[in-house]
Amino acid sequence: MENGLRSRRARVFKALAHPVRLELVELLKQGPACVCELAARFPLGLPAVSKHLALLREAGVIRSQRDGTRILYRLVMPCMLESFSCIDRLILDQLRTEEGLRQRIEEELPA
């Protein structure tokens, strides 16, 4: 695989590597929204949400488009959300493994 592709892929993953940005992507799954609508869903100020959106836009995850006085943000590739399901399955598998390990340790502890 070409190093340029890996670098671009890493840039996308880096942009997604924050809980607020992950939630923004999930919210934009429902359709385009302006920063004011998105910011209302977070305990952050509008400038902080705008900064998160800018990072997602710079990575090519979302696009912005002017609509009168508002700027609407939308997902470029909604299919990227399919990767979230795969990651969720990975996390559940890890939790099951950790739970099994915890149970074995508890069984080995003296009473």
Residue 59's pLDDT is what? 95
Low-confidence ranges of the chain (pLDDT < 50): none
CA gap 21, 76 in Å, rounded: 14
Residue 1's pLDDT is what? 55
Residue 100's pLDDT is what? 86
Strand order in the sheet with 62-67: 33-34, 70-75, 62-67
- Spell out the long-range contacts of 32-36 with Cβ–Cβ below 8 A and sequence spacing 24 or more: 32/65, 32/72, 32/73, 32/74, 33/72, 33/73, 33/74, 34/67, 34/70, 34/71, 34/72, 34/73, 35/71, 35/73, 36/70
Are residues 74 and 28 in contact, defined by beta-carbon separation less than 8 angstroms? yes
